[in-house]
Structure 1
Amino acid sequence: MIRIRLGARGLGNVRFAVSPVGSAKDLLRLVGFSPGTLTPPWRTRAAGALSRHRLGLLAVVGGGGPLGYAPDFLRPEPPGFLTDIDTALHQIATTPRERVRYELTEAVNGHSWDPGSSHPPPRQLLRALDRGEDHFAHRLADEMARF
């Protein structure tokens, strides 16, 4: 049994929500970072969807790279307990530029990839970033929808 003591303020900050994109992000991270933890059918279905729908950018970003960090804007905070997929995808697509830039800078500069090692950021990621944060967020939302 786990006990967590919260005062009124702490309890007021607790959210219980079900997010379809949150579940998808968890699956992407497992496929990219620790595929051995998935059962073979789930691993096959997820990898097949990524390949079949050509979701390379989502696989790279959502998978967390060799160091495991996947940007948090791929799991937007749900506005209510049950959030429909379209709302969540809209939240990803309209993530503020500053947040996209900050989280991806963190990923590229050491949280997901080590630029000084044999695991530099993938060219596909860097090319997508060159097109700007708005384009990047919209493209990830589109790829997440297809996933």
Structure 2
Amino acid sequence: MTDLPATFHELISASIDESGVWPHQMIVRRDGKLTLRALALPPEGVMAHLGRTIRDGADELIYGMDRYTQPGQGTEFADCIAAGWYRRDVGWRIGVIDYRHDPRIVRPWNWGNAWWIAAVGHELRQVLPDHAVVGHA
């Protein structure tokens, strides 16, 4: 079975340009099939789309939004992809892909960034209050 976090990381690495990563990216697994979605939506539109996708029966999905960072948020660069990985039987796991366009640097997943786990977890609970946000695989 395809490793969605690894596939998503490859997608993000290939999608970075001088303006970051746009549109926002999502990969959905439903009934054993993968679908790539490019979400040219504001953050609240992305969150609404996530809710619909899960209610429509997604078994697994991973999405990310390009974010600017500030000191104290636990990132190395000024840009990151703050992402959520959903599995129906587990809930959400939140991670960050820290990146810089020039020179091109893309860090591995950071599943332990407390600031972004709290921020993205808060966003997810606004749309999907009954879904767990977990901090482990």
Under a length normalisation based on structure 2, what TM-score does the superposition of the two structures give? 0.31
Greater share of strand: 2
Under a length normalisation based on structure 1, what TM-score does the superposition of the two structures give? 0.30
Greater share of helix: 1
Q: Select the structure with the greater relative contact order (CA < 8 A; seq sep ≥ 6).
A: 1
